[in-house]
């Protein structure tokens, strides 16, 4: 089984042997088994705290294989609003609930949740369920507990 242990430096111009699509949740895990094209499996064994992002390339422990990471489209709720204030208010309420959230100036994006969708509609937002890549903000204190 192939074991990938570190990110490839951005300045090293290695063509990937595979490209794998990972969900937002999978991109937060530094240790996991992943199916790769051709029916094989790889083990991801990165140091704790390493962030995996779209565009990253990982190198195997033997140095002979490279895998490129892309974001897997997944079910999401995309939230838009008539005004920036309404969008900010929605982000505030979702943040109070510690919801993984993608924040842009045009929309918010979160994992599907009917209760939160109803809340957002009551706040005057427009809610659309779709399949799209999800890039939640990692936050300043990711991994903390209350």
Residue 105: DSSP 8-state: S
Query: Are residue 56 and residue 79 in the same domain, yes or no?
Result: no
CATH code assigned at 107: 3.30.70.790
Q: How many domains does the chain have?
A: 2
> End-to-end alpha-carbon separation of the chain, Å?
38
Q: Specify if 25 maps to a domain.
A: yes
What pLDDT score was predicted for residue 145? 43
Query: Are residue 27 and residue 50 in the same domain, yes or no?
Result: yes
Query: Are residue 65 and residue 11 in the same domain, yes or no?
Result: yes
What pLDDT score was predicted for residue 137? 93
Domain span at 91: 74-132
pTM: 0.85
What pLDDT score was predicted for residue 140? 63
What pLDDT score was predicted for residue 142? 52
Give me 141's structure tokens: 């204190």
Q: Specify if 54 maps to a domain.
A: yes
- Residue that is last in its domain, among 22, 38, 71: 71
CATH code assigned at 31: 2.60.260.20
The DSSP secondary structure of 62-111, one letter per residue, reads: TSS-EEEEEEPPEEEEEEE-SSHHHHHHHHHHHHHTT--EEE-SS-EEE-
Percent of the chain as helix, strand, coil, to the nearest 5: 15, 35, 45
- Residue that is last in its domain, among 71, 99, 119: 71
Residue with tokens 């369920």: 129
What pLDDT score was predicted for residue 107? 98
The three-state secondary structure class of 42 is: strand
Query: Are residue 64 and residue 111 in the same domain, yes or no?
Result: no
Query: Are residue 66 and residue 95 in the same domain, yes or no?
Result: no
Neighbours of 22 (CB within 10 A): 21
Query: Are residue 80 and residue 64 in the same domain, yes or no?
Result: no
Which residues of the chain carry a pLDDT beneath 70? 140-146
**Rounded Cα distance, 57 and 8, in Å:** 5
């Amino acid at each position: 089984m192939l074991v990938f242990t570190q990110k490839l430096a951005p300045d090293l111009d290695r063509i990937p042997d595979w490209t794998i699509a990972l969900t937002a949740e999978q991109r937060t895990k530094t240790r996991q088994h992943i199916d790769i094209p051709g029916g094989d499996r790889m083990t991801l064994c990165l140091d704790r705290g390493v962030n995996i992002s779209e565009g990253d390339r990982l190198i195997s422990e033997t140095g002979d294989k490279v895998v490129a990471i892309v974001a897997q489209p997944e079910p999401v709720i995309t939230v838009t609003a008539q005004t920036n204030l309404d969008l900010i208010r929605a982000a505030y309420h979702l943040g109070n609930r510690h919801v993984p959230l993608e924040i842009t100036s045009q929309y918010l994006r979160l994992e599907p949740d009917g209760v939160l969708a109803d809340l957002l509609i009551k706040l005057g937002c427009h809610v659309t369920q779709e399949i799209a890549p999800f890039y939640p903000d990692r936050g300043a204190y990711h991994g903390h507990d209350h």
